[in-house]
Structure 1
Amino acid sequence: MSVEIWPALPPEQLQPAIDQTQQLELSWLLSELHSTLHSLKSGLEDCYALLAPVDPGSTLVVSTPRNEVVKGHITRIGTRIVKGTLTLRLRTHPQQTYTISPTAPISIAPLTTLNALLTHSIELVTLTLTYATPPPSPSRASKSSSSSNRPSSPAHSTATFLAAQLLLLSQSLTEALSLLKGPQPLTASDATWVSKSCAPDHFVPSTNRDLSIHWGVQDSSLVLWLRALEPADAPVSVGLKFALAIGTARRIEHDEADQLFVYTYPENTEAGTSNAGSNSGSSNNNNNNHSSSTNAEDKKNGKQHSGGAGNAAKGLQNSSRNKEDHRANEVQVYVREKVRVESADPSLLSLSAKLGALNYTLELARANLAAVMGESFDG
């Protein structure tokens, strides 16, 4: 089956008619895209409102199903956990109840990145609506196309600009959806826990240095990972070796039981801070004594001390000291016990659904624009 124009046009008039038709279609599609962009902006603003730091926030239950290993609740406002209580009954640690300190809220890294992506997406749509000139009317388009064998360049320039902007917006929405989807499979977490675990000062009382508490996002839900750590070079008693050999004692089985991790103790832990603190204290005392004696000698000799070289030296000392402290806080560990707790968040579930719908609308608009411009669309 074929589509023919009737009455048939002579060959010298066929190409101008095709160009005129394409110009009319492109002008109509650009007008429709402006309304689509306005709806996208409105939808993105609704998504941003779901993640905005507005009281009273979302109160979520944090409890393990069918047992009482973890029981508690948290309150999320925006991208941070501002308050909550967790009671832990781990097999490798004594029972303890921790309260999130109101002066040190916990920032959830995926939500912080997601908030930045939503802000960037709204700014991108606003910029697109500002600089994308309104398309010409069909009457003007027909007149201009009748005098030329090619579509008008302003409409094509606008279409090219919109295609590039929609591509950037699609990349932002795809990354935002991947953050809400989280690491896969569900039993695994990304490797950020080895360096991004919660610091002890987030809790009252402070957590044990051998306990890693890490928050993340999976399937639009907040997920808590608890890991009981054991240094790789920790000595094993003869009694434990014998009990493991005869089977009276068994190590807790989980997916990270036999893996060796390079764990970085968070700041304010006991690991590596006492020596670093004493060394830094002694070095500071030596620097103070040296500077005081130098200043006294300069005053005695009537000299002016510029301090430029001294500031540079202090900067090098501080940077090298920070590197030494970072290396001192790194240690190879095994995960003796691992617990995963998932808390469904209605706001994040709604946010994921809205972003999915917006992304579908955006991909459809990109496909239509590519078809009218005669370009390939990979999605």
Structure 2
Amino acid sequence: MSTLIWPPIAPDELLQKQEDNIARELEWLLEALQDTLQSLKDGLQECADLLAPQDPGSTLVLSSLRSEQLKGYITRVGTRIMKGEISLRLPSIPVPRGQTAFRLAISNLPAASTLFLEQLATTRTLINACLDVVDATRWTGDRKNADFISGQMMLLHDNIQEARGALRGWTADQKAWHEDPVPGDAFQPPLPDHISFHLTISEAAILLNVRTLEPAYSTTGTNTPLSFVSSSSGQHSYTGFSLRDRLSAVLGGGRQVFHDEAHEVFQYKGQEVRVREKVRVESQDPSLMAAYAKLGALERNIAVARRALGVVMGKGLDDVEDG
């Protein structure tokens, strides 16, 4: 099957008509992309509103699965954890007399350090940058310049991908728990040196890991465990392990540990430590989940728009994906 043009058109004239047709298609598409940009802005603003600091914030329940090891709650306002109480029941943490669990409470003192979710701050920064890009593209740039619009769409796509990646978690620039310890004075009473409290975001959920720590080399030539030295007071504070645990270690019947970091050594607050016990709790945050889903939809929409523009501009799919 063949297609013929009648009356016949000279090759030069046919080429010119094809170029004119592509130019009209490109002009129409660039105009249509203005509506796409407005739609993107509306979606980005919804995401920004979901992550904005608004009282009373999001109160999330924390509970270990099928155990009483960790129970409590935290309240997130924007990128900060403003309130919270955690009860721990771990063999390596002694329970104060008269209480049923070891209690951690986030301090509300004016001078206390604030628990800060860096990933949320990154996401909010990238979303605000996208909003600025949309405004610059629509109002200050040349809306009829295909190369300019293509470059701006690529920038939007990259920023949205990065913002969504921050909510997904475990990005390359994310610090590990031992590299970014929580300030002890964020709690009242202060967090003991042998307890690590680490909050992150994973798949748009709040992920809390509480670890109890011990020195990596637990003896000094005798049967006495090495002590942690408080960076604030300089005083020794033994890790809080019970006499039963110490006797068990002396007699060669050390308590078995069952977690993925049991045999690793970490540099934590200037000391080499091992993780004695570890409890992991995940709590779904509805606002983060909604923002994560919206960013995914925006990412797909802008990818479709970039491919359409690339085709009309004569770019291959590889060229569009590579920028």
TM (norm. structure 1) is: 0.71
Whether 1:46 aligns to 2:46 is yes
Query: How many angstroms apart in 1 are the aligned matches of 2:214 and 2:6?
Result: 83
Pick the structure with greater CA Rg.
1
Q: Is the 8 A contact 1:229 1:337 kept in 2?
A: yes
For residues 195 and 18 of structure 1, the distance between their equivalents in structure 2, rounded to whole angstroms, comes to: 60
- Aligned residue pairs, count: 284
Offset at residue 5 of structure 1 (A): 4.2
Higher helix residue share:
1
Residues 1:367 and 2:316 aligned together:
no
Q: Is the counterpart of residue 130 in structure 1 residue 139 in structure 2?
A: yes
1:14-61 Cα distance to aligned partner (Å, 9 max, x none)? 011011100110001001111101110111011000000011111110
SS in structure 2 of the partner of residue 62 of structure 1: strand
Partner of 2:151: 164
C-alpha distance in 1, partners of 2:90/2:2?
A: 73
* Matches for 1:231-310 after TM superposition, within 5 Å: 231-235=215-219, 237=223, 239-244=247-252, 248-264=253-269
Tell me which residue corresponds to 2:162. Answer: 175
The range that moved more, 25-34 or 231-240, is: 231-240
Q: Percent identity?
A: 40
Q: Following the alignment from structure 1 to structure 2, what is the Cα–Cα distance between the partners of residues 250 and 76?
A: 36
Question: In the alignment, what sits opposite 2:92?
Answer: 92
Distance 1:363 1:2, change over 3 A: farther
Q: Name the amino acid aligned to 1:100.
A: I
Structure 2 residue aligned with 1:342: 282
Q: Which amino acid aligns with 1:253?
A: F
What SS does structure 2 have at the residue aligned with 1:194?
coil
CA 1:6–1:217 in 2, change beyond 3 Å: closer, same or farther? farther
C-alpha distance in 2 between matches for 1:7 and 1:65 = 78
Letter in 2 for 1:163: S
Contact preservation (8 Å) 1:251, 1:336: no
Residue from 331, 334, 341 that aligns with 2:271 = 331
* 2:125 alignment partner, one of 116, 120, 123: 116
- Rounded Cα–Cα distance in structure 2 between residues aligned with 1:204 and 1:215: 17
Q: Determine helix, strand or coil for the equivalent of 1:196.
A: coil
Matched-pair contact (CA < 8 Å) for 1:79–1:112: yes
For residues 345-366 of structure 1, give each alpha carbon's deviation from its aligned partner in whole angstroms, at most 9, with x where no partner exists: 0000100110000000000000
Check 1:258–1:3 CA distance in 2 against 1; reply closer, same or farther (3 A cut). Answer: farther
Q: Check conservation: 2:143, 2:149, Cα contact below 8 A.
A: no
Tell me whether 1:376 sits opposite 2:310 in the alignment.
no
Whole-angstrom CA distance in 2 between matches of 1:117 and 1:364: 21
Residue number in structure 2 paired with 1:22: 22
Structure 2 gap segments, 5+ residues each: 95-100, 224-245
Equivalent residue for 1:196, pick from 160, 169, 180: 180
Write the distance in 2 (CA, Å) between the matches of 1:57 and 1:376: 46
Picking from 191, 202, 206, the partner of 1:222 is 206
TM-score by length of 2: 0.83
Residues 183 and 3 (structure 1), Cα distance of their counterparts in 2 relative to 1, 3 Å cut: farther
Report if the CA contact (8 A) 2:266-2:272 is conserved: yes
For residue 195 of structure 1, report the CA deviation from its aligned partner.
2.2
Structure 1: stretches of 5+ with no match in the other structure: 136-157, 185-189, 265-329
Displacement of 1:192 after TM fit? 2.2
